[in-house]
């Protein structure tokens, strides 16, 4: 029904929506991660290596997401005892470490990247995963865990005085975000079919941050709006050819000032 080009655009858009949600969850608790690209990379590589070994795609996605979540626990445990801007610096460093690791990890192709990944990602799968993630975020807002995250974000002193375990709540939200980024990475690898470390660099993390900021960090549809806008607009701007990114950059500036 969609042309293969637009179907591919739709898949990447949905993957970016997942990435936006993966950052939205920790941001509910006031944690800004600049390392979501790193978690995506872990999910992408682990999942792709598994399907090459004939592991079923669904299982590989879960294991890839699990690996990213595990990395989230490992990086989050020390990181979440520190505050504010230092979390950003630490996650930024983490993203770079992951990128350099995969650039030198020969079993996964090292610097020349990894090709020959099976084309297993289908649009309905990614849309379903995005819808599930969105439903999860919407439900979280209305239960104990979501209230705890908002309380920590607004006033961690009051939150802790009301019996909220700060470290555990922050770690859980960070890990949940890593899990979703890992799954997004798995979908990405099986759509892109070729991955190398530079696809998961700092720009990937920064653009993910942009989805949430542009769409609005105040409600779960924010990252969706942001991801769709930031992904589709450059595609539509292909008509202006060489000026594409210049026009897009200018649009971002305009939107940042007069944000809808």
Partner 1 sequence: MSALLSVAGVSRYFGGYLALNDISCDVAAGHVHALIGPNGAGKTTLFNIVSGTLRPTSGRIAFDGHDYTGRRPDRVLKMGIARNFQHVRLIRGLSMIENVMIGCHAWIDRGIIGNTAALFGISSGERAAASKARELLDFVGVSAKRGVEPLELTLGDQRRVEIARALASEPRLLLLDEPAAGMALAEVNALSSLIRCIRDRGITILLVEHHIRLIMEIADNITVLSAGSVIASGPPSAVQRDPAVIAAYLGKSDEPAVGT
DSSP 8-state assignment for residue 116: -
Among 39, 102, 145, 188, binds partner 1 (CB under 8 A): 145
Report how far residue 124's alpha carbon sits from residue 198's, in angstroms, rounded to the nearest whole number. 27
144-152: long-range contacts (C-beta < 8 A, 24 or more apart)? 145/169, 145/172, 145/173, 146/28, 148/29, 149/28, 149/29, 149/30, 149/173, 150/28, 150/29, 152/29, 152/30
Q: Which of 32, 127, 136, 247 binds partner 1 (CB under 8 A)?
A: 136
Query: What is the C-alpha separation between 260 and 232, in angstroms, rounded?
Result: 17
Output the CA angle 95-99-102, nearest 5 degrees. Answer: 140
Cβ-contact 152, 29 below 8 angstroms? yes
Q: Which is nearer to partner 1, 90 or 149 (CB)?
A: 149
Q: Which stretch binds partner 1 (CB under 8 A): 45-53, 150-158, 234-242, 243-251?
A: 150-158
Q: Does 154 bind partner 1 (CB under 8 A)?
A: yes
Instruction: Tell me whether residue 163 or residue 260 sits nearer to partner 1 (CB atom).
Output: 163
Size of the site for partner 1 (CB under 8 A): 24
| Between 78 and 163, CB nearer to partner 1 | 163
Strand partners, 195: 114
Touching partner 1, residues 163-222 (CB under 8 A): 163-166
Position 147 contacts partner 1 (CB under 8 A): yes
Q: 136 or 252: whose CB is closer to partner 1? A: 136
* Residue appearing with tokens 């990114």: 245
When the beta carbons of 120 and 140 are compared against partner 1, the nearer one is 140
* 160 touching partner 1, by CB under 8 A: yes
Residues 39 and 22 sit within 8 Å (Cβ to Cβ): yes
**Shorter beta-carbon distance to partner 1: residue 150 or 193:** 150
Which residue from 23, 140, 171, 184 is in contact with partner 1, where contact means CB under 8 A? 140
Assess 162 for contact with partner 1 (CB under 8 A).
Answer: yes
Residue 81, C-beta contacts closer than 8 angstroms, at least 6 positions apart: 167
The binding site for partner 1 (CB under 8 A) comprises: 136, 139-140, 142-145, 147-148, 150-151, 153-155, 157-166
């Amino acid at each position: 029904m969609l042309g293969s080009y637009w179907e591919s655009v739709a898949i990447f858009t949905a993957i970016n929506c997942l990435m936006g949600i993966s950052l939205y969850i920790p941001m509910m608790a006031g944690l800004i991660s600049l390392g979501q690209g790193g978690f995506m990379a872990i999910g992408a590589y682990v999942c792709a290596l598994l399907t090459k070994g004939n592991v079923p795609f669904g299982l590989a996605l879960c294991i890839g997401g699990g690996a990213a979540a595990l990395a989230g626990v490992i990086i989050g445990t020390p990181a979440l005892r520190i505050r504010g801007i230092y979390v950003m610096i630490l996650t930024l460093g983490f993203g770079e470490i992951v990128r350099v690791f995969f650039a030198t990890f020969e079993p996964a192709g090292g610097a020349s990247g990894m090709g020959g990944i099976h084309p297993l990602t289908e649009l309905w799968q990614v849309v379903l995963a995005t819808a599930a993630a969105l439903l999860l975020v919407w439900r979280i807002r209305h239960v104990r865990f979501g209230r705890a995250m908002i309380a920590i974000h607004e006033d961690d002193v009051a939150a802790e005085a009301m019996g909220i375990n700060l470290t555990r709540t922050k770690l859980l939200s960070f890990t949940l975000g890593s899990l979703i980024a890992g799954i997004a990475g798995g979908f990405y690898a099986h759509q892109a079919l070729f991955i190398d470390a530079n696809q998961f660099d700092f720009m990937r993390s920064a653009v993910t941050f942009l989805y949430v900021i542009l769409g609005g960090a105040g409600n779960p549809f924010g990252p969706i709006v942001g991801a769709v806008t930031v992904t589709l607009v450059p595609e539509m701007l292909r008509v202006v050819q060489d000026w594409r990114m210049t026009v897009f950059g200018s649009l971002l500036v305009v939107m940042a000032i007069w944000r809808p």
